[in-house]
Structure 1
Amino acid sequence: MAEIDHLLEQAIATHATPGVVCAIGHAGKVVYRSVRGQRAIAPVAETMTWDTVFDMASLTKAVITAPCVMQLWEQGRFDLDDPVCRYLPHFAAAGKSGITIRHLLTHYSGLQPDLGLTDKWHGRDAAFRLAMNTVPDHPPGSRFVYSDINFITLGFLVEKLSGMTLDTYATRYILAPLGMRMSRFLPPETWRAQIAPTQFDDDGHMLRGQVHDPSARRMGGVAGHAGLFSTADDMCVYAQALLDRRAGRPSAFPLQTRTLVMMTTPQQPQGQTDLRGLGWDISTHYSSPRGDRFPMNSFGHTGFTGTSLWLDPDSDTYVLILTNRVHPDGRGNVIRLRHDVATAAAIALSIPRA
């Protein structure tokens, strides 16, 4: 996999990211590991390490919030095509009574992309009011619009149905069963030196252990759309356990095989061409981490901070790329890196062109 080595080095040399941790899993094993560049360049330089803890950003949606929701679905707590307002009555405001849980999971709700930061709101109660009162831009089911509000709302749904905060539920029922001990919301101060910093906040302090996403940060660091911190080791465990359970092999993954198959196959409204699973991306303009060779039934997700995970059940393969490309000034860009590494990995593993 020398081509992948070259791509990672090139990304650092061109300042696409200060550093990167990359892992490729295939046939039940991690067949490629690489650690390159720097974990931090400001305020002082630090070398990247394999055990670096990354702000996973929107990978939180697919890795945490969606499986939390689907565990509750397995328990019969709701149907996917139930209106959200049946469980969160305030959500019916502003003409949202027709939006279903499936619409939220697939980003076909018609809601705008985010809560907006112009008003200086703070706190979970304020975020709840904003999410419940948000006005749709489009009728539900009419078009794919990736929206943090969808998963902020799903986080509130998990809390309503479980009686626990999202981080407590996720730790107890997702992370702990998988043995992911270096993954959590709100990482403790003892982890700080191991965490990849992201950007300076509005007060000029470097974010390190505080979630980068501003809405999640205003919510106290726990939200359905962002807030998870994790390592390469833990994410490899997650990815392989998901692939194993999906294939019906022995696995600690805390969902049933049929549920995972449903989550990772198209669930968008009939006739729509942007293909989304339940939490997972399949084929949209966000699908660059598929590269040129992984098939259309592969799936994955990205995070704004520079994280991505793409999985191919046909070949039992995953490609994990962890960066803090936003450090220190937000100018890094790893979209091309994700695409090219996936392509190179598929070629190296002799995966046929899709």
Structure 2
Amino acid sequence: MSHRPVHSPSRRMAMGVGMGLVLSTCLPRRAPARTMDMTAVDDRLRHAVSSHETPGVVCAIGHAGRIVHKAVHGQRAISPAPEPMTWDTVFDMASLTKALITAPCIMQLWEKRQIGLDTPVSTYLPEFAAQGKQDITVRHLLTHYSGLPPDLDLTERWQGRAQAYSRTMNTRPDQPAGQKFVYSDINYLTLGFMVEKLTGQSLAAYATGHILRPMGLSHSCFLPDASLRSRIAPTQVDENGKMLRGIVHDPTTRRMGGVAGHAGLFSNADDMCRYAQALLDCRAGRHGTLFPLRRDTVLLMTTPQQPAGKNDLRGLGWDIDTHYSSARGERFPVGSFGHTGFTGTSLWIDPQSDSYVLILTNRVHPDGHGNVISLRRDVATAAAIALDAG
């Protein structure tokens, strides 16, 4: 569904596990440019609303340790009644849950030597070996090179976490592990089950205690309380015709009760900017970072870790250069990284320029017809030009 990005001539092809990109790993914080004209960014955001790509949008651009541009356009809700978009709107982050929550939870366990990246998943979840999955490793799941299909079968009637677990354990691969990049929610469903098995806690409880609270992300949560409903951007109507608001949009996660390794996080712009800055600070080796992982772990997560000889570049949780990378735009280099969410959320981070671009929308509201693929690309390109990051 994404457009293939324009590549820099310096693109490193077919990086193998652990090779990484040639990067400066301890970047000084640059002083912001004296003049950063974000007119093109705002013009594109307004056009996205007026052309019905999305009902509304919140955008933040960070650079050199601070937010250098904030933008709010359009409406938070159209149906059943119009509401203006606001900076503090809470969004269903969808698949950003994978990179923001599940991957760092797994890497915390790796830091504690409770798991190995190249150890078969069945070592920790013995049932996972069924249907020929005995060779799939933790790294295969994190990089989407497991060979598993994109999602559980939703044409069958099933409900509950136990059913999701059983169906995940009994999923048959479409191809051998390590052969091809196929983006799959089942990969992160499995990683979420691993976190729960090894910690003895629900994924929501573990993530809250080890990611959200330590980072001070007070506006981020799973299963939002009803008191937050008025600030949450609605998505679509469910199978019963009820508008989803504060209830996860992803149907697999919804069948599981609202929490899964691939979706379920709700958050807002303040928290996502805080997260992105903490990640940049940790990666650059700056003191005082709030990020709950070691610097060497973050470097591992944000450099190519896919099987050797493969051209779709994935970190451990983060996208680097695949057909999903349109959110990088045409100017940020390969070596930057990010992720997107189906509901219309995205975050792209460029360590080289010490910058990030956050776009939060509920583009699926109210009827699922919105599309922000080109918006992400265009805003990232315009931001990089304004930051002189290309």
Taking structure 2 as the reference length, the TM-score comes to 0.90
Question: For the residues of structure 2 that align with 1:221 and 1:243, how far apart are their CA atoms?
Answer: 30
Matches within 5 A, 1:229-308: 229-250=266-287, 251-308=289-346
Match for residue 322 of structure 1?
360
Question: Counterparts in 2 of 1:32-47, with a 5 A limit?
Answer: 32-47=69-84
Runs of 4+ in structure 1 displaced over 4 angstroms? none
Q: Does 1:102 pair with 2:139?
A: yes
| Matched length | 352
Q: How does 1:197-216 map to 2 (within 5 A)?
A: 197-216=234-253
Q: Which residue of 2 aligns with 1:337?
A: 375
Whole-Å Cα distance in 1 between the matches of residues 389 and 312 of structure 2?
24
Secondary structure at the aligned position of 2:213 is classed as helix
What is the CA–CA distance in structure 1 between the aligned matches of 2:208 and 2:116, rounded to whole Å?
A: 24
Asked if 1:348 corresponds to 2:349, the answer is: no
Alpha-carbon deviations, 1:156-214, whole Å to 9, x = none? 00001111100000000000011001101000000000000000001010000000000
**What pairs up with 1:63-212 in 2 under 5 angstroms?**
63-212=100-249
**Which TM-score applies when normalising by structure 1?**
0.99
Instruction: Indicate the residue corresponding to 1:4 in structure 2.
Output: 41
Query: How far apart are the structure 2 equivalents of 1:349 and 1:299?
Result: 17
Post-superposition Cα deviations, 1:90-132, rounded to whole Å, max 9, x if no partner, equal: 0000000000000000000000000020111100000000000
- Quick one: which of 60, 73, 77 aligns to 1:23? 60
Distance (Å, rounded) in 1 between the aligned partners of 2:278 and 2:353: 15
Q: CA deviation at 1:78?
A: 1.2
Which whole-Å deviations, capped at 9, do the CAs of 1:199-232 have from their partners, x for residues lacking one?
A: 0001010000000000000000010000000000
Q: Percent identity?
A: 69
| Deviation, structure 1 residue 351 | 1.2
Distance 1:175 1:346 in 2: 29
**Which sections of structure 1, spanning at least 5 residues, go unmatched?**
none
SS at match of 1:76: coil
Name stretches of at least 5 consecutive residues in structure 2 with no aligned partner: 1-37
Aligned CA RMSD, in angstroms, stands at 0.4
Q: Aligned to 1:273, what secondary structure does the other structure show?
A: coil
1:54-74 deviations in whole A, cap 9, x for unaligned?
A: 000000000000000000000
The one-letter code matched in structure 1 to 2:309 is G
- Once residues 230 and 327 of structure 1 are traced to their aligned partners in structure 2, the CA distance between those partners, rounded to angstroms, is 17
Aligned to 1:218: 255
1:54-65 maps to which residues of 2 (within 5 A)? 54-65=91-102
Instruction: Report the CA distance between 1:330 and its aligned residue.
Output: 0.3
Taking the aligned partners of 1:329 and 1:28, their CA distance within structure 2 comes to 38
- Name the SS of the counterpart of 1:178 in structure 2: coil
The 2-side partners of 1:22 and 1:138 are apart by 39
Q: Which residue of 1 aligns with 2:347?
A: 309
Higher relative contact order (CA 8 A, sep 6+): 2
